[in-house]
Amino acid sequence: MPAEPDPALDTEPLLTETIFLASAALPAGDDDPVRRCRNVPWIVASPGTLCHLMAVRLCQAAGFTPKVRHHADDFATVLALVAAGQGVALVPELALADRPAAVELTALPARRRTRIAYRAGSGGHPAISACAAALREAVAVYDVG
């Protein structure tokens, strides 16, 4: 979700991930997988979070407001609920390492972009530079996109 920059922070890109629609069985219907799920329950993050806002806005862009059955902020829990047939959900690529076999995934054109943030003007500090380098190294092993 686009956010207004905070003038107290500098940021730099870290990771871009594909967002997936997770379902136990994707309903038949038109070409838009999100729109196909307009009549099924949804599992979304807690209100007030960016993940919640993203799910609601993607559904609204598809022409409906999601019928929320569960709120969950832990992706392993979200995937377990999906596998149990409790609804559909949006999950980022990094959350899929241990997905249950019963969960079907449909890639969406939406992306999650994660940035490194630090106090404005402090990017050259050795501790900030080392931390940013460690974060970049940690995500480099993932082939996401």
pLDDT in tens, 89-105: 999 998 998 899 999 99
Report pLDDT for 73: 95
Q: Domain for residue 132, yes or no? A: no
- pLDDT, mean over the chain: 92
Does the pLDDT at position 115 exceed 80? yes
Q: Domain for residue 121, yes or no? A: no
Report pLDDT for 28: 82
Nearest Cα neighbor of 76 from 108, 106, 43 is: 43
Report pLDDT for 1: 60
In sequence order, what E strands does 2-96 have?
9-23, 41-44, 67-71, 89-92
Largest CA distance in the chain: 54
Does the pLDDT at position 13 exceed 80? yes
Residues 6+ apart with CB under 8 A from 26: 33, 36, 37, 88, 104, 106
pLDDT in tens, 19-48: 999 999 887 887 899 999 999 999 999 999
Full domain range(s) for residue 97? 18-111
The mean pLDDT value for 122-128 works out to 95
The pTM for the full model equals: 0.85
Give the burial string for 3-35 (b: 16+ CB within 10 Å, else e): eeeeeeebeeeebebbbbbbbbebeeeeeebbe
Q: Domain for residue 107, yes or no? A: yes
Report pLDDT for 91: 96
Domain count of the chain?
Answer: 1
Does the pLDDT at position 145 exceed 60? no
Q: Domain for residue 43, yes or no? A: yes
Q: Domain for residue 27, yes or no? A: yes
Residue 118 parent element (H or E): strand 104-119
Q: Domain for residue 4, yes or no? A: no
Q: Domain for residue 119, yes or no? A: no
